[in-house]
Structure 1
């Protein structure tokens, strides 16, 4: 069952106003994630216990000196096709929302699953993201 679009719009807006691109179809996902370069993928969610800090963590990470080429998002429970396709790229990782993945040329380099987000402050989650940027994006 999909969430009411009116319910999720503020959660979408929290990322898109930062310049994060929404991917709404499997074609959108393949086009972006198969491209050269580094892509941060945020699996957005209505989960108040984890997503409420995941989105601000992404905002904090976007201030870091080192950045991926793209930051994109799919919305679990809303854009089912796009979310399922994005999770296809997260080989070996169980579906989790929210989650945050860093891919290079379509290959998973780093993943934060819900259990690694839940119960942590945004600045702690952002520190994990920026550490991954330093490790995987600094040379690209």
Structure 2
């Protein structure tokens, strides 16, 4: 399976050049484990993805990952990392990150994501807007 279609690549690149808290564009997962990634941006180098990374150890975190390395992962039974064809990012990446920290793993549960969004909206920003 091709992990990034031309359309997904274009959307990720556009987010990478624009500042903001973008909704995840793509979800990758391991079909034989708990590893999951939600990516919202791709650097101009075409390899560095930014998003929410969860290797299945209960410590999801925001960060960068290499598309080349993810594509090269060889799993048991000849499997490889896959793209969730039905995934649609509905919240900004920070909301997924907040919910994942509360749950201990990436979640797509609407109630948990809405709760994380509500909590974030009630928090006062540390700095005034620019």
TM tier relative to shorter chain: 0.3 to 0.5
| Higher relative contact order structure (alpha carbons within 8 Å, sequence separation ≥ 6) | 1
Q: Name the TM-score, length of structure 2 as normaliser.
A: 0.33
| Pair member with larger Rg | 2
- The structure with the greater share of residues assigned to helix is 1
